[in-house]
A and B are shown apart, each in its own frame.
Chain A
């Protein structure tokens, strides 16, 4: 028998931002950013104990607005970057920033669930596209999106000195990079995407009621946590398993940074499901790697 999925609700928040806690290699941690227009949004650090199948969480307020995307820095467990929508004035502006999580000295141990509003994320740097006074891209197809952040990634550099030293963000059709050590913009590629960097959403919106058939298959550990796809190009192609624990559209799936065989999926209704690769598939992988 495979382990039953662990289902965890985000307390009535809607959410579409999910990330593995990349710098934490001991524990199976995930970061979730919530989306709410009317309440103070949160970043939740969710820890899954493999042995007891218990889920514990730490909650941090994210007052800047609803989180559309979240990434964890690979070099430091308390650094994250988010793309957020400013809900204060309903202007619909998207921004991006690097934050520090006020983690406790020992992040282990069951936390008090009632401390929801206790800590706030601390803003380190705003990854603002317009602050340098860049002109908007002429002919930008969507008004108002030219300078808005859509996406943010940490540079996946494995050189230990440079690890996580750069952050890139997409603003409209530009890609900008920041040096994290100095928190200054380092380079910018303008017009990298002549079309909106929004192809992904087409796929999402066209995906079958994602609630009913989440992305089922993940195989190779090489590509784990870095690129999860619905169908991996692993040893054998095809759907391995279909997980139907969600009832709304699933917008994010992430491999755990600590355990290759564990992954989390997050649906719009705030349901986080932690699953494991079926054991039969896992053992098959081991056998294949031996030869």
Chain B
């Protein structure tokens, strides 16, 4: 009796262990199946690192065909299989999945139906049109789902105001009245309608389409970017070739010769002809009277300066010929109204011998000046009227 009880115990324990293994393997491999766009079934499961090879098999109830996997999905985190859906009504049928792993382990899962696991592709070709007369904004789109129009429900939303989302059954939607100062950004998504076996999944949102309050259909952002680049290029081009703008931004040294081309080329440097002085104005500058010149005689140095050799007079006849005393040239003595009689010099005593003056640099030769006709004097004066000694 004890032996029988023990063997029964062993069998029960073995049965529990086997059940636990099956349960744990099923729990470790969770299979999810969805019908994508009523076109194909996609089943995915998490890859078990200890197992690399899987063999997938599936079938719909009353379909009669045990389909293998025509196309496996191999991703980094998961593995899957895509099975074409040959009949849309099969989604109402029971779906049985079997996965064979290495080591002859088998995982099986049964779906009562995939009716509620339908995921449609998002709508596409969204466009918006504004009717100015009725102040109505109309949104249009297309759907790629191979279902009757009444079998698809769409949800339309304005990204800028999510509370405005609502469901429609047609592939168009109208908004009226339209605010001119608002920006509208529309998106649409779809699901299977209740009358055709509703799904628990909405599709992804479609690409957004914008409309601003200017009344025109919105332009994509890339158009604004291109226009900006073109505008900047044009400004750069104008800046490069437009001299006036260039001068303002990069000032250059003024060249007045630009405005004096006529003077140089046409009038050959003749300013009078260039500036077009009238004949009357020219004659107005001609002198109509003459003024007698005043002759100025050179003032002779006094004897004091000569007797004091230490105070040797500085030679004005330096290298600069202009320093030479200029004497008025009396070119026309008869016109002189008055000849100033030069003062008679005093009779000077014999000067002491002057010390030898320091050698001074030889001045340049002064231009010869005409000497005023010396008044007639006695011989003693002649000595005094001699040219002063240059030092």
Partners in one complex: no
Interface residues in chain A, defined as those with a beta carbon under 8 Å from any beta carbon in chain B? none
